[in-house]
């Protein structure tokens, strides 16, 4: 129903190459999240799929049919915008009815579908309101309503939650996930928020500078990031990337240790065995600084190591003991020779 | 933010404002007053301000000597017709400039504007010859077409400015919702830009209504709108101030009334986007 394939898709605006080359396959019914720092081309990629931008090269295939030159209206996709993009001069009812009207549905069918969508999204009592009279969360629901009445092959979400406050965002995240479970329609979701990506996605596509850095399930990306960028980007608090002697000992330029795999200890051991640590630990909510900074600032502990809050067996402050790292999972630290 | 203004200053400001307003309005007031005077009193020195023998004879005479209704009709057809056609062409053009700009769009817009910087007399001869050869001299059709072309750059520029205030997202949403270009413009863009479109329309009606250069040069008896009609009461007929004033009053009355009723719309449209 809603399989989407990108074949060697490229996009440039004038001289600026935004998407050097992307190959991607999205299966029917999948919830795929595009994630990456701002300016990484994730929104552009979504707009290429939507047809709002023309590809500079390559093919877009929707449901096995060539759609590269198909105008957005005929691709059978629905999009939810970051700004909601509701029609301000139309009531909620007319907003939701608009795509059906454009598809020349019967008035009776339009009415039935609009009311059903409003019911699902708890909007029934707001049908006569104008978008300007609604709160952010309600507007977002209207935007989703406008998308679902079309029964599209796939939903495209362009950072739909970034204009909402934190509490509402968590709720809407859940609602969208539930919507996906009940509709079982393909969803492509763009966000810069990796927590959203990790909690919602079946599969995550990590993008940087228009390149796909890695594609995989959240747990794959977390456990086995393919390169330093993915390792640093996925996971909160961030993974510790340690260079220097410890890394070389394991035959790598950089090793990564997840903060939750670090335990501060009073006893020497683990990674810090050969070193003398003079500084007392400074334990913040998310980070503990362990080790000493070398003059040139390149010491292995110099960058600060993130560890879970309040490591066991360590008092808050004032301890002069030598804490050191202990790697809980020495079998599985991520190693990488890339930089 | 409210600022406290002392009562005395407030009075002073009010008086100054009214004085300035009156100075600006005075020529129109004087024209209207003169139109009710006899020719003798119109040139009296010192002039009689309000205490003269009020008469309607100038209006009667003007009615008799020329076909006022014809000129009004011409004015309405030319100004309304040219504005509507300009909008029909200008809305899609402004849409393209605002939402689908290409590399040379800015240059194109500047070029369009530059045509307004050239004095119209510079193209009088070629246009006159074209009109003569195409049989458009002294026709409402010819003048409507010309007024449309003369005002088109302004229409496109005004609409372009208004359209740029409209978030492109919403038009893209319409596109995703399956709206073809025509529906996108009619159902989504036009209603959202309505204040802008309305003020563009009003301003261009006024500009076309008051246009005198082309109407004087390209029309005679049949297609002459009101601006040419006023001119016919000036020097060639001798200096009949009262009759000229009556003609002027009759010519500006319709547009003045239109302006009066639409001033709120006009102001709102002209300041559109200035205040978020």
How high is the pLDDT of residue A156?
93
Neighbours of A136 (CB within 10 A): 15
Residue B1 domain flag: no
Predicted TM-score (pTM) of this structure: 0.75
Residue B216 domain flag: yes
Residues B51 and B83 in one domain: no
pLDDT tier at A266, thresholds 50, 70, 90: low
Closest residue to A89, CB basis, from B103, B176, B192: B192
Residues A140 and A272 in one domain: no
Inter-chain CB proximity B173 and A77 less than 8 Å: no
Q: Which of A182, A198, A228 is the last residue of a domain?
A: A228
How high is the pLDDT of residue A305?
67
Q: Quick one: tokens of A221?
A: 């990306």
Residues B93 and B51 in one domain: no
Inter-chain CB proximity B172 and A103 less than 8 Å: no
Distance of residue A74 Cα from the nearest chain B Cα, in angstroms: 7
SS3 call for A230: helix
pLDDT tier at A5, thresholds 50, 70, 90: very high
Distance of residue A233 Cα from the nearest chain B Cα, in angstroms: 29
CATH number of the CATH domain containing B93:
1.10.3720.10
Inter-chain CB proximity B172 and A146 less than 8 Å: no
Alpha carbons within 13 angstroms on the beta-carbon side of residue A300 total: 22
Q: Tell whether the model's pLDDT for residue B59 goes beyond 60.
A: yes
pLDDT 10s digits, A52-92: 999 999 999 999 888 898 988 888 899 999 888 999 999 99
Q: Which of B166, B176, B190 to mutate to test the interface with A (most CBs of A within 10 A)?
A: B176
Residues A12 and A138 in one domain: yes
How high is the pLDDT of residue A334?
44
pLDDT 10s digits, A197-215: 999 999 999 999 988 999 9
Residues B159 and B24 in one domain: no
Nearest CA in chain B to A49: B176
How high is the pLDDT of residue A267?
62
Strand-pair category, A240-243 with A305-306: unpaired
Alpha-carbon distance of A190 to A237, in angstroms, equals: 21
Q: Which domain holds residue A117?
A: 4-228
Residues B85 and B218 in one domain: yes
Residues A170 and A250 in one domain: no
Residues A224 and A335 in one domain: no
3-state secondary structure B137-149: CCCHHHHHHHHHH
Residues B85 and B198 in one domain: yes
How high is the pLDDT of residue B235?
63
Q: Which of A162, A195, A228 is the last residue of a domain?
A: A228
Residues A91 and A203 in one domain: yes
Residues A12 and A145 in one domain: yes
Longest Cα pair distance anywhere in chain A, in angstroms? 79
Average pLDDT over residues A228-240: 86
Alpha-carbon distance of A107 to A94, in angstroms, equals: 12
Residues A164 and A18 in one domain: yes
Distance of residue A264 Cα from the nearest chain B Cα, in angstroms: 50
Average pLDDT over residues B5-14: 86
Residues of A in contact with B181 (CB under 8 A): none
Residues B195 and B136 in one domain: yes
Q: Which of residues 220-249 of A touch B (CB under 8 A)?
A: none
Residues A174 and A249 in one domain: no
pLDDT tier at B219, thresholds 50, 70, 90: confident
Average pLDDT over residues A8-20: 89
How high is the pLDDT of residue B275?
41
Residues B80 and B30 in one domain: no
Q: Tell whether the model's pLDDT for residue B112 goes beyond 50.
A: yes
Average pLDDT, chain A: 79
Nearest CA in chain A to B173: A85
**Does residue A83 sit at the B interface (CB-CB below 8 Å)?**
yes
Residue B206 domain flag: yes
Average pLDDT over residues A140-154: 91
Alpha-carbon distance of B116 to B82, in angstroms, equals: 17
Closest residue to B175, CB basis, from A52, A82, A87: A52
CA nearest B62: which of B91, B39, B94?
A: B39
Residues A93 and A177 in one domain: yes
Q: Which domain holds residue B22?
A: 7-58
Inter-chain CB proximity A102 and B179 less than 8 Å: yes
Q: How many domains does chain A have?
A: 2
Neighbours of A244 (CB within 10 A): 16
Q: Which of A208, A228, A248 is the last residue of a domain?
A: A228
Distance of residue A337 Cα from the nearest chain B Cα, in angstroms: 43
Q: How many domains does chain B have?
A: 2
Distance linking the first and last C-alpha atoms of chain A: 41
Nearest CA in chain B to A77: B176
Residues A248 and A216 in one domain: no
Average pLDDT over residues A128-149: 90
Inter-chain CB proximity B176 and A87 less than 8 Å: no
């Amino acid at each position: 129903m809603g399989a989407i394939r990108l074949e060697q898709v490229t996009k440039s605006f004038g001289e600026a190459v935004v998407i050097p080359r992307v190959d991607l396959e999205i299966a029917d019914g999948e919830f795929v999240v595009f994630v990456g720092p701002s300016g990484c081309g994730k929104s552009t990629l979504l707009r290429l799929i939507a047809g709002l931008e023309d590809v500079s090269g390559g093919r877009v295939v929707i449901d096995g049919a060539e759609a590269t030159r198909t105008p957005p209206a005929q691709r059978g996709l629905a999009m939810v915008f970051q700004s909601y993009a509701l029609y301000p001069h139309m009531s909620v009812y007319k907003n939701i009815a608009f795509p059906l009207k454009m598809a020349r549905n019967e008035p009776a069918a339009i009415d039935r579908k609009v009311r059903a969508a409003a019911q699902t999204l708890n909007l029934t009592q707001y049908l006569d309101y104008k978008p300007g009279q609604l709160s952010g969360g309600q507007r977002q629901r209207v935007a989703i309503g406008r998308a679902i009445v079309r029964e599209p092959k796939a939903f495209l979400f362009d950072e739909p939650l970034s204009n909402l406050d934190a509490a509402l965002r968590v709720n809407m995240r859940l609602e969208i996930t539930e919507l996906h479970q009940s509709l079982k329609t393909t969803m492509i979701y763009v966000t810069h928020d990796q927590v959203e990506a990790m909690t919602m996605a079946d599969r995550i596509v990590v993008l940087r500078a228009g390149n796909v850095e890695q594609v995989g399930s959240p747990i794959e990306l977390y456990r086995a990031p393919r390169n330093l960028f993915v390792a640093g980007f996925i996971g909160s608090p961030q993974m510790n990337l340690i260079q220097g002697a410890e890394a070389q000992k394991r035959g790598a330029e950089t090793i990564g240790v997840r903060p939750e795999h670090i335990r501060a200890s009073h006893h020497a051991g683990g990674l810090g065995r050969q070193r003398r640590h003079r500084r007392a630990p400074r334990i913040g909510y998310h980070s503990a600084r362990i080790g000493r900074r070398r003059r040139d600032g390149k010491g292995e502990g110099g960058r600060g190591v993130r560890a879970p809050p309040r490591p066991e067996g360590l008092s808050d402050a004032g301890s002069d003991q030598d804490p050191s790292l202990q790697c809980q999972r020495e079998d599985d630290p991520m190693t990488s020779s890339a930089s | 933010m409210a600022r406290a203004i002392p009562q005395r200053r407030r009075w002073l400001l009010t008086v100054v404002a009214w004085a300035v307003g009156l100075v600006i309005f005075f020529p129109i007031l004087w024209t209207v007053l003169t139109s009710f005077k006899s020719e003798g009193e119109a040139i009296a020195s010192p002039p009689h301000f309000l205490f003269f023998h009020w008469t309607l004879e100038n209006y009667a005479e003007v009615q008799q000597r020329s076909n006022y209704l014809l000129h009004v009709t011409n004015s309405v057809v030319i100004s309304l017709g040219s504005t509507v056609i300009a909008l029909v062409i200008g809305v899609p053009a402004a849409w393209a400039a605002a939402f689908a700009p290409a590399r040379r769009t800015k240059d194109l817009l500047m070029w369009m504007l530059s045509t307004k910087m050239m004095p119209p007399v510079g193209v009088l001869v070629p246009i006159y010859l074209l009109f003569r050869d195409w049989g458009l001299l002294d026709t409402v059709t010819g003048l409507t077409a010309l007024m449309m072309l003369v005002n088109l750059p302004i229409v496109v520029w005004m609409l372009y400015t208004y359209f740029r205030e409209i978030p492109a997202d919403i038009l893209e949403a319409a596109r995703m919702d399956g709206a073809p270009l025509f529906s996108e413009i009619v159902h989504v863009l036009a209603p959202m830009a309505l204040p802008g479109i309305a003020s563009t329309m009003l301003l261009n009606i006024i500009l076309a209504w008051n246009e005198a250069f082309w109407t004087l040069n390209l029309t005679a008896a049949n297609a002459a709108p009101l601006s040419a009609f006023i001119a016919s009461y000036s020097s060639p007929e001798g200096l009949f101030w009262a009759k000229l004033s009556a003609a002027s009053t009759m010519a500006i009355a319709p547009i003045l009334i239109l302006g009066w009723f639409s001033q709120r719309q006009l102001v709102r449209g002209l300041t559109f986007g200035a205040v978020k």
